[in-house]
């Protein structure tokens, strides 16, 4: 393993990519109150407090507190409320003002009041956040004012953010090149393996950087699992539903990467309906995602919700802890073969999901399910007006049977020969970058971009570069 510590005490405040989106929101002439969504402890509150330093005035309310909820329970106008907050907090307004409403799910009145901030105080910047936001709102049957807010999504730290946190800025600069210099690939691969082991939860990264000991991070993971189970379960209406939710949280890391059925999920005796309800709650809490397959070859991507989904968990650090995989990382085995390749697929899914902060849709995969033969491609990515298959796989190109199947069928549907251009596919693996112009066993020509796993978050950018090649 690589020593990622500089030997200095570090703060848990890390630079996050979403900060660029926040700056764009701040400068927009069409700005609306902003909702930051994300699982508990991915860094939402820390992010906004740090962003608040860029304003002349920063008001922060925690709506878990009765005295802060009280601002929204009276008959005050938006202007009067802001004046009262200023007086009570002892903060005089100067320059531009950001009002941060944390844990907003505890105040339906505050949620309803966002429309008045938008309509009556367009010069006020308003950001809200909350843990289990969608779970609470679904339970209480409340919703945000339609057309008067906008959303951003915060996920665990991705590899780019991890490199910044560990002070590997020169390596990050090299990673931003297309293609990455070949002499930098070994260093990036080693760092990516470390990142996959530790995961992207800010507290876990901070603990590792402070102690340089992965065993010290176990308490962080253990507490996170307990927190998630307790937080989500308390919104269940019956004791049975609480138990189901706790079971699903504990079992999901071991089901990650698999195509799941709800009936007897995780070798349990729970019914399909009970598991389905628990999974939906955990999806809304952004603790896990269900990735549904597609069967078509043309845009737009339309997941088939009637087919079995694959499970994606929140973070590889949590997955490794729950599955007892940490020791495997210290051996020579490449990342794409660890845990039967499931771990590599999980980290790729995690990286692809982190690319955009404006939506929280996990990437789909492709299936062909026939009586005599089945095929699956790990990911399907839409770029411009085409679909691109992405496989996470070790081995030679000749073993990409499912990818070849997709290419052959796509050529018939899309008519690649009429465009005089090859179809394009991507393989992510523990190898070096290369571009090949090859054919399937049936003779269909296509371009295969071989990307090292550490470039997973840049898959779309590489596709864009070679689409016109």
Mean pLDDT of 438-458: 95
pLDDT of amino acid 1:
40
One DSSP character per residue, 119-178 reads HH-TTSEEEEE-TTHHHHHHHHT--PPTTS-EEEE--S--HHHHHHHTT-HHHHHHHTSS
CA dihedral angle for residue 19, residue 24, residue 28, residue 30, rounded to 10 degrees? -70
pTM of the complete model = 0.91
User: Which residues neighbour 254 within 8 Å (Cβ) at sequence distance 6 or greater?
Assistant: 266, 322, 323
- Residue 181 carries which DSSP code? P
Model confidence pLDDT, tens digit, residues 138-191 = 777 778 888 899 999 999 999 999 999 999 999 999 999 999 999 999 999 999
pLDDT of amino acid 366:
96
Please say if the pLDDT value at position 11 is more than 90.
no
Contact call for residues 70 and 179 (beta carbons, < 8 A):
no
Q: Which of 228-242, 342-356, 415-429 is the most confident on average? A: 342-356
User: Can you read off the two tokens belonging to residue 382?
Assistant: 């839409």
Residue 294: which pLDDT band, with cuts at 50, 70 and 90?
very high
Q: Which of 17-26, 221-230, 351-360 is the most confident on average? A: 17-26
Boundaries of every domain in the chain: 18-153, 159-354, 364-467
pLDDT of amino acid 205:
95
Rounded CA separation 109/71 (Å): 9
Mean pLDDT lowest among 82-86, 234-238, 428-432: 234-238
- Residue 454 carries which DSSP code? G
Please say if the pLDDT value at position 400 is more than 60.
yes
Find where tokens 């700005």 sit: 31
Please say if the pLDDT value at position 407 is more than 70.
yes
Number of H helices, E strands in the chain: 18, 14
End-to-end distance of the chain based on CA atoms, in angstroms? 38
Rounded CA separation 291/346 (Å): 11
Q: How open is the CA angle 399-402-405, to the nearest 5 degrees?
A: 110
Share of the chain above pLDDT 90, in %: 65
Segment (H or E) for 364? strand 364-369
User: Which residues neighbour 142 within 8 Å (Cβ) at sequence distance 6 or greater?
Assistant: 108, 111, 112
For residue 208, give the nearest of 356, 54, 14 by alpha carbon.
Answer: 14
Contact call for residues 108 and 142 (beta carbons, < 8 A):
yes
Task: Estimate the share of the chain in helix, then strand, then coil, as percent rounded to the nearest 5.
Answer: 50, 15, 35
Please say if the pLDDT value at position 2 is more than 50.
no
Model confidence pLDDT, tens digit, residues 221-248 = 999 988 988 888 777 778 888 899 999 9
Please say if the pLDDT value at position 4 is more than 50.
no
pLDDT of amino acid 130:
86
Sign (positive or negative) of CA dihedral 262, 377, 351, 325: positive
User: Which residues neighbour 234 within 8 Å (Cβ) at sequence distance 6 or greater?
Assistant: 242
Mean pLDDT of 384-398: 81
Please say if the pLDDT value at position 352 is more than 80.
yes
pLDDT of amino acid 209:
92
Q: Helix H segments across 141-271?
A: 159-165, 169-175, 185-198, 202-211, 218-233, 239-255
In the CATH scheme, what is the code of domain 18-153? 3.40.50
Rounded CA separation 201/205 (Å): 6
For residue 210, give the nearest of 164, 166, 160 by alpha carbon.
Answer: 166
Q: What is the Cα 16 distance to its own chain's centre? A: 13
Residue 104: which pLDDT band, with cuts at 50, 70 and 90?
very high
pLDDT of amino acid 356:
87
Contact call for residues 225 and 318 (beta carbons, < 8 A):
yes
Please say if the pLDDT value at position 469 is more than 60.
no
Residue 328: which pLDDT band, with cuts at 50, 70 and 90?
low
Please say if the pLDDT value at position 468 is more than 50.
yes
Residue 438: which pLDDT band, with cuts at 50, 70 and 90?
very high
């Amino acid at each position: 393993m690589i020593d990622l510590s500089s030997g200095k005490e570090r703060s848990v405040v890390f630079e996050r990519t979403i900060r660029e989106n926040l700056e764009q929101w701040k400068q927009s002439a069409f700005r609306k109150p902003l909702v930051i969504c994300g699982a508990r402890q991915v860094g939402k509150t820390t992010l906004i407090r740090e962003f608040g330093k860029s304003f002349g005035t920063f008001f922060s309310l925690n709506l878990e507190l009765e005295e802060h909820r009280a601002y929204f329970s009276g008959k005050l106008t938006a202007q009067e409320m802001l004046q009262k907050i200023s007086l009570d907090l002892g903060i005089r307004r100067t320059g531009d003002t950001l009002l941060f409403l944390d844990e907003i799910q505890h105040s339906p009145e505050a949620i309803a009041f966002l429309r008045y901030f938008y309509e009556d105080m367009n010069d006020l910047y308003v950001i809200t956040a909350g843990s289990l936001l969608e779970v609470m709102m679904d339970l209480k049957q409340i919703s945000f004012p339609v057309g008067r807010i906008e959303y951003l999504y915060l996920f665990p730290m991705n590899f780019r953010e991890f490199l910044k946190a560990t002070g590997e800025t020169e390596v990050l600069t090299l990673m931003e090149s297309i293609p990455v210099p070949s002499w930098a690939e070994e260093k990036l691969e080693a760092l990516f393996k470390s990142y996959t082991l530790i995961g992207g939860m800010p507290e876990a990264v901070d603990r590792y950087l402070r102690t340089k000991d992965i065993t010290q991070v176990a308490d962080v993971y253990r507490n996170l699992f307990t927190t998630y189970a307790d937080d989500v379960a308390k919104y269940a209406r019956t004791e049975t539903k609480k138990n189901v939710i706790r079971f699903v949280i504990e079992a999901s890391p071991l089901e990650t990467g698999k195509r799941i059925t709800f009936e007897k999920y995780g070798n349990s005796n729970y019914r399909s309906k009970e598991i389905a309800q628990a999974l939906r709650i955990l999806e809304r809490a952004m603790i896990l995602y269900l990735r549904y397959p597609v069967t078509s070859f043309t845009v737009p991507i339309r997941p088939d919700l009637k087919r079995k989904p694959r499970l994606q968990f929140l973070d590889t650090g949590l997955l490794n802890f729950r599955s007892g995989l940490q020791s495997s990382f210290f051996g020579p085995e490449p990342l794409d073969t660890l845990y039967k390749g499931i771990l590599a697929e999980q980290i790729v899914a995690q990286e692809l999901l982190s690319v955009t902060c404006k939506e929280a849709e996990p990437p789909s995969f492709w299936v062909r399910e026939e009586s005599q033969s089945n095929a699956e491609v790990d990911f399907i990515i839409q770029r411009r007006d085409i679909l691109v298959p992405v496989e996470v796989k070790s081995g030679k190109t000749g073993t990409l049977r499912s990818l070849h199947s997709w290419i052959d069928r796509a050529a018939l549907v899309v008519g690649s020969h009429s465009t005089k251009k090859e179809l394009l596919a991507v393989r992510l693996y523990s190898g070096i970058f290369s571009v090949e112009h090859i054919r399937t066993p049936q003779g269909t020509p296509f371009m295969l971009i071989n990307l090292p796993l550490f470039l997973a978050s840049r898959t779309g950018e590489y596709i864009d570069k070679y689409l016109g090649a």
